[in-house]
A and B are shown apart, each in its own frame.
Chain A
Amino acid sequence: MTASPLPVVELVAAVRRADSALGLLQATQDLAAAPHPDGAACLVEVLGFNNPGAAVAAVDGLVAIGEPAVETILSNIDGHNYGARAWAVRALAGIGDVRGLEVLEDALGQDIGPSVRRAAARGLGQLRLSALAGPQRQAVVSRCLAALLAGCGDGEWVVRYAVVVGLEALAQQLSPDAAGIALAPVREALEWLCRDPAEEAPVVQLRAALALQRLEAVDG
């Protein structure tokens, strides 16, 4: 009997019933392990509970649900809780659906929470471009690139670090025909981040050097 999985409604009810941090974590993990679109709304709620362990599990669950969770995430972005927004943006980044593009652009460019901006920067590098037709792909790449290049000047080291990660991931995704157009500004930006004498965080320079090295290896 214990072997048969509980229906999603039961798992959702268990999350709502949880009355301790540990109980919430376990219930969220159970719900996330049964990735079902009907669980998405509840997982999105957990992002706002200020329980990092449960939020990690909820993000994993949302990413596992994938595209069917995107609308739920987008329509529940919490304008008042940047912790929750950061987790929602992480989920969007993990799913990589282009419907998240505008939210990611706005988040990197304007959000007051560095944790939101850093999650957005990473997400802008990992939107799944392969499903898109050529012209649309080109337009999405241009927008991601523009947002990431603007993010190079962010005041927080962790956001600049995430911009490096985003630029590397975006460059790795480019098909060889598009690569010629987009790679030059990516490389320039990484070289700038690597050498900017005003950079106060050596780790940003370390990461930019690693990104350049990896792009070199791919590019030959």
Chain B
Amino acid sequence: MAAGASDAPVMAGDPISEEEALRRLRLTGDPSAQYYAAWWLGRNRSTHPDAVPLLQEALRKRRPRDPGAGVEENAVARNAARALGKLAPAAEAAIPDLLATLEDEDHGLREAAARALGDLRARAAVAPLVARLAPGPAVAGALQPGTPRLQEPCEALLEALGQIGVAEPAVLAVVTPFVEHERPLIRSAACRALLQLTAAPDWGQRLVALLQHPQLQVRHAALMDLGAAGWRPALEPIAATLAENSLKLIALRGLAEQPSASHSEAATVAVLDAMDALL
């Protein structure tokens, strides 16, 4: 999902050049400068040859979590992972670093690494992602005592598997039980992954049903998930969802851009017409 969750640092308005971003990312003694620089390189889709190696370097600087230390190396590493995902496919060289980060004890880092591996369509990540989810919804998806987090960043892990697109029986077997998770956001992520992996309309229908959920946050997630899967039958339910037009437009963009050749031109025009009506 990751709807609207802005990872823009506070001083996002600070206009800097690519050279300046690279310079700041080299300032290993100044994590807050690095934090912004890592975000900047991803946001601006830097193609500079130094960008990926420097972001890899920032990923390797992660360390055991030190709560309350302010902007720390792990925050830099998190932004570096996200940036590497945004630079896909040019960041393929960073896949081994991201795979190592997926094993980190820091929940937030595992989450960022999983998303980046999904963005990179890293087939090498399928086995470790499956391994993280394999204990099932009652274990990997159990609440971490004293926090709002689950044991594993399930949403990110599920979404990455859907995005990478390896529809092997072992993957489906691990993902499927999560469609019954108690949290609707996890159910939504699991349905999205299964829809992407199998194209079976059942999963799309379940997401459409979540568009009626009483919580706005769940409707947002289902919108983003239907958009990510590009499921055309959701066109009218998306347009009718009680949610901001901005999010419906993002979801419909996903439908319009769905590459499948089986769609007629008229069907694409219908999506575009629905988008026009939401502007």
Contacts and interface: CB of A to CB of B under 8 A. Distances in A.
Interface in A140-164: 157-158, 161-162
Interface residues on B, range: 10 to 19
Interface string B11-53: 0000000000000000000000000000000000100000000
B242 A52 contact: yes
Nearest to A198: B45
Contacts of B249: 158, 161
| Size bracket, chain A contacts | 20 to 34
Contacts of A161: 249, 275, 279
Contacts, number: 44
B107 interface: no
Nearest to A165: B276
Most B C-beta atoms less than 10 A away, residue of A157, A201, A206: A206
Contact of A118 (B257, B269, B279): B279
Given A203-B253, A206-B272, A53 B242 contact: yes
B257 A203 contact: yes
B245 A115 contact: yes
A42 interface: no
Interface in A64-87: 83
A122 B272 contact: no
Interface of A: 52-53, 83, 90, 114-115, 118-119, 121-122, 157-158, 161-162, 165, 200-203, 206-207, 210
14 contacts: A52-B244, A52-B245, A83-B244, A90-B279, A114-B246, A118-B279, A119-B279, A158-B246, A161-B249, A162-B279, A165-B276, A202-B256, A206-B256, A210-B269
